[in-house]
Amino acid sequence: MFIVLSLLNPDPMYKQVTDQVKDAIAGGILKPGDKLPSIRELSLELKISIITTKRAYSDLENEGYIITRPGLGSFVADINKEKLREEKLAEISVTLLKIIKTTEKFNITRDDIFTLVKEIEEKTNESHR
Amino acid sequence: MFIVLSLLNPDPMYKQVTDQVKDAIAGGILKPGDKLPSIRELSLELKISIITTKRAYSDLENEGYIITRPGLGSFVADINKEKLREEKLAEISVTLLKIIKTTEKFNITRDDIFTLVKEIEEKTNESHR
Amino acid sequence: MFIVLSLLNPDPMYKQVTDQVKDAIAGGILKPGDKLPSIRELSLELKISIITTKRAYSDLENEGYIITRPGLGSFVADINKEKLREEKLAEISVTLLKIIKTTEKFNITRDDIFTLVKEIEEKTNESHR
Amino acid sequence: MFIVLSLLNPDPMYKQVTDQVKDAIAGGILKPGDKLPSIRELSLELKISIITTKRAYSDLENEGYIITRPGLGSFVADINKEKLREEKLAEISVTLLKIIKTTEKFNITRDDIFTLVKEIEEKTNESHR
DNA sequence: GTGGTCTAGACCACA
DNA sequence: GTGGTCTAGACCACC
């Protein structure tokens, strides 16, 4: 699998797993119907407890990303990608709202932000070369 | 004091305190040299344990926002506001970078983001009326 | 563990713990990635409260010596030993400056200091025999 | 008086007072028989509580540095300067011992220390010019 | 099992 | 009065 866990990441293990699976689905790396590795396989590969993997998979199932068929394994669900996109937009909206509140308190202007975004884009482009 | 705790806020209480004190300092409501309420006073006012208040104050001291002296109380430290602003910009930068990465995966365009920001601003203005 | 607490030492217990852990890291007894005893284990061993042990570990984490993850435990961080050494040199520098100022006021000569150092070294060597 | 108190100094107020009085005596600024300011005067001048000044003076008296005659005031005692000097040497000895222990743990050599001392002396000379 | 937060309550040093 | 340390004990999330 493509999943990478980090001790330095403050997110708990199970969340690192679900987030990366969600991203893979959103990005088309995992497509509806694809089979996910079994809980035991993934636990071994990531060197984490079976309980943790279980937690990640059941979260994903509860949120509708995957479907687990006992005895068969787990499969990517038939997800409305448009819905995924809108969920992400809602998340981003919350984050942006926080940023806007912060800027007001700290005398940060719109131009500061634009400069920041440009810098980020330049760095990103460089690292892609 | 101006501090308001909320059970709905997922942040622990001590963090709600530190965040609001930091904001007050950043916003000029608290100025260098100002005396903060004593740990006991604030505990009574916020109806939280002395220990929790102390935890908040210790954190603020460790991060350089306040100076606290036994027998005297706690005082806003002599902080470089410009430095505070730059730290916040760096934080925002990290967040924006994450957002940009997300947008790429989810086919979210720049225009989507602009629309989002406009919506937020309109809502904010409404609530100010 | 190698930690020894002393009632005679005027330092608070949590500081005795952090200091000894820092020394162990500096001296290579604890290496990056090593697992520290759990808070509960160490509390039992040292016969001190869980809270006091936790205080020590939190301090160590805030200062970058260890990384602690809920459910997993605490681990020695990936520390730049050279940086540690320079920090210590800076500390020593401050102390030496104070000593030099004192010697000036009290008519203490360089030779007095050299004699002192020699005495210390002889005593240290004796106790090593 | 020549006494300067600082909030940033981690030493408690009363100790900042006693230390500076002791230094003044050692340095000859205060000579045996000299009258010290009254407790009330000094409190006003340093903007500290009378209790704190009292504590400082009684400490100084207990350690033999000053003599307080009720109704007359406090006077610098007839101190054996040689004894003072030896006390300071003992203090320095303890500090040096700690430094030496530290150097061993952090791979700091004698030469590092010599370089340090030279740097300090050069800086001190510069600032005297 | 692990750590993270919050609680109530005691004792000490400092002002 | 102030803050600093240490205690016992509860409840929660994570592994």
Say if D20 falls within a structural domain.
yes
Q: How many domains does chain A have?
A: 2
Say if A33 falls within a structural domain.
yes
Same domain, A19 and A67: yes
Say if A55 falls within a structural domain.
yes
Binned at pLDDT 50, 70 and 90, residue B108 comes out as confident
For residue B117, pLDDT beyond 90: no
Output the CA torsion sign for D48, D53, D56, D59.
negative
Residue found under tokens 């800076």: C90
Which of C78, C80, C83, C77 is CA-nearest to residue C36? Answer: C77
The predicted structure's pLDDT at residue D110: 86
The predicted structure's pLDDT at residue D103: 87
The predicted structure's pLDDT at residue D82: 81
Task: Give the β-pairing of B66-69 and B73-76.
Answer: antiparallel
The predicted structure's pLDDT at residue B73: 92
- Beta bridge partners, A73, equal A69
Q: Cα–Cα–Cα angle for D61, D66, D67, nearest 5°?
A: 80
Q: What is the percent of chain D with per-residue pLDDT over 70, rounded to a whole number?
A: 98
CB-side exposure of C68: number of CA atoms within 13 Å? 19
Residue C40 Cβ under 7 A from any strand E atom: yes
- A37 versus C81: the higher-pLDDT residue is A37
Q: What is the percent of chain C with per-residue pLDDT over 70, rounded to a whole number?
A: 98
- C48 versus B107: the higher-pLDDT residue is C48
Say if D3 falls within a structural domain.
no
Find the helix packing angle between C81-105 and C13-26, rounded to 10°. 120
Same domain, C98 and C117: yes
Binned at pLDDT 50, 70 and 90, residue C128 comes out as low
Say if D59 falls within a structural domain.
yes
For residue B103, pLDDT beyond 90: no
Same domain, A71 and A111: no
CA of C115 to C1' of F15 (A): 58
Same domain, C108 and C91: yes
Is the distance from CB of C106 to CB of D26 less than 8 angstroms?
Answer: yes
For residue B18, pLDDT beyond 90: yes
Is the distance from CB of C99 to CB of C93 less than 8 angstroms?
Answer: no
For residue A57, pLDDT beyond 90: yes
Say if B72 falls within a structural domain.
yes
Say if B6 falls within a structural domain.
no
Q: Which residue is nearest to nucleotide F15 (CA to C1')?
A: C71
Same domain, B86 and B71: no
Is the distance from CB of C103 to CB of D79 less than 8 angstroms?
Answer: no
Binned at pLDDT 50, 70 and 90, residue D128 comes out as low
For residue C1, pLDDT beyond 80: no
CATH code, domain carrying D43: 1.10.10.10
Binned at pLDDT 50, 70 and 90, residue B129 comes out as low
Q: Each residue of B89-100: pLDDT tens digit?
A: 888 898 888 888
Print the domain residue range for A110.
Answer: 81-127
Q: What residue of A is the nearest CA neighbor of B94?
A: A120
The predicted structure's pLDDT at residue B81: 82
- Beta bridge partners, D68, equal D74
- Beta bridge partners, C76, equal C66
Say if D1 falls within a structural domain.
no
For residue D75, pLDDT beyond 90: yes
- Provide CB contacts within 8 A for D45, sequence distance 6+: D1, D3, D37
For residues C55 and C76, give the distance between their C-alpha atoms in angstroms, rounded to a whole number.
16
Same domain, B52 and B92: no
Structure tokens at B124: 């904010």
The predicted structure's pLDDT at residue A129: 62
Rg (CA), chain D: 18
Same domain, C17 and C53: yes
The predicted structure's pLDDT at residue B106: 78
For residue A12, pLDDT beyond 90: yes
Task: Give the β-pairing of A73-76 and B66-69.
Answer: unpaired
For residue C10, pLDDT beyond 70: yes
| Segment D81-92 mean pLDDT | 83
- B28 versus A127: the higher-pLDDT residue is B28
Binned at pLDDT 50, 70 and 90, residue D129 comes out as low
| Segment D98-118 mean pLDDT | 86
Which of C50, C60, C74 is CA-nearest to residue C16? Answer: C60
Flag if A93 and B116 touch (Cβ within 8 Å). Answer: yes
Is the distance from CB of A100 to CB of A41 less than 8 angstroms?
Answer: no
Same domain, C27 and C69: yes
Query: Do A and D touch, counting CB pairs below 8 Å (3 needed)?
Result: no
- Provide CB contacts within 8 A for C79, sequence distance 6+: C25, C32, C64, C65
Same domain, C20 and C63: yes
Q: What is the percent of chain A with per-residue pLDDT over 90, rounded to a whole number?
A: 39
List A residues 11-40 in contact with C (Cβ-Cβ < 8 A). Answer: 12
Print burial letters for A48-64: b (CB count within 10 Å at least 16), e (below 16): beeebbebbbbbbeeee
For residues C16 and C37, give the distance between their C-alpha atoms in angstroms, rounded to a whole number.
16
Write out the H or E segment, with its range, that includes residue C96. helix C81-105
List A residues 77-96 in contact with B (Cβ-Cβ < 8 A). Answer: 84-85, 88-89, 92-93, 95-96
Same domain, D89 and D64: no
Residue type, A71: G
Same domain, C18 and C50: yes
Q: Cα–Cα–Cα angle for A36, A39, A44, nearest 5°?
A: 110
Q: What residue of B is the nearest CA neighbor of D11?
A: B69
Same domain, D40 and D86: no
